[in-house]
Amino acid sequence: MLDRDSNTEYYFGSEKKCTYGKDHHCLSEWQACSTTPYCVWPATNTWLCLGVSTLIEKLSPQKTRNMAGQQIVFIDFSMNNFEYFISDGWLWSFKNSTVIFIVDTPMAPFANYWFDQMRTLEISGGIIYADDTITQIIRKIISIVGGSIILPNSNKPRITINEFAILRLLYRGVSPKRMAAFFQTSVNVIYANKSKIEKKFNCSIKRLPRAGST
């Protein structure tokens, strides 16, 4: 479940904030009062909001008009927001939206995993990586808004379904021994997967951000 304080988007052009509800009422209200049809979630990174605004301004008026009628959400897919993305159901809240992940380098493997889940849920969208150039980013936005499928960078690692299941339990403090019993496998297998996950994140699971951590 998403945290109430952070489950917020900034709606450019309407100078308002609202909760992203399951019925998407906020998007309907926003579309009625804004000519710039996109938002950023969660709305805690002022610099990211400014950066997205600058990128949208670089689009031609025709491309901006093509965004009309769509529910476009830029997701701040950064390490600071890790706890939101460890939940099974967070992506379902954006079922009726076009979702664009803006990803920092350590989170690329996790974003690639969730892109696969987007395809399964038939949610349109794509990924903007930290090392994409401005030209690449603008092209991606135009293509995604136009309905094209931009596949993740195959050179970047991704978390597998099995690794996600193990990561989620380790993150929540379940011991490898208990997990081995649950998955009917050996403790060595759990530790091997743990090592693979930490290598992909370039970070110990114990050091991944949690609510209230500083």
Rg, the chain, Cα only: 18
Per-position DSSP letters for 36-48, written without gaps between them: S-EEEESTT-HHH
Tell me the mean pLDDT in the region 135-163.
91
Q: What is the pTM of this model?
A: 0.80
Tell me the mean pLDDT in the region 151-157.
91
**pLDDT exceeds cutoff 80 at 2:** no
Token pair, residue 78, equals 């950064």
Within 8 A by CB and 6+ apart from 143, the residues are 126, 150
State pLDDT tens for residues 14-52. 333 444 443 333 333 333 334 456 888 887 888 888 888
**pLDDT exceeds cutoff 90 at 59:** no
Q: How confident is the model at residue 6 (pLDDT cuts 50, 70, 90)?
A: very low
What is the rounded distance in angstroms from the CA atom of residue 77 to the CA atom of residue 4? 18
Tell me the mean pLDDT in the region 63-92.
84
Within 8 A by CB and 6+ apart from 14, the residues are 30, 33, 34
Considering the chain, what is the average pLDDT of its residues?
81
- Give the start-to-end residue ranges of the domains of the chain: 8-145, 161-207
pLDDT of residue 11: 42
**pLDDT exceeds cutoff 90 at 146:** no
Tell me the mean pLDDT in the region 100-114.
96
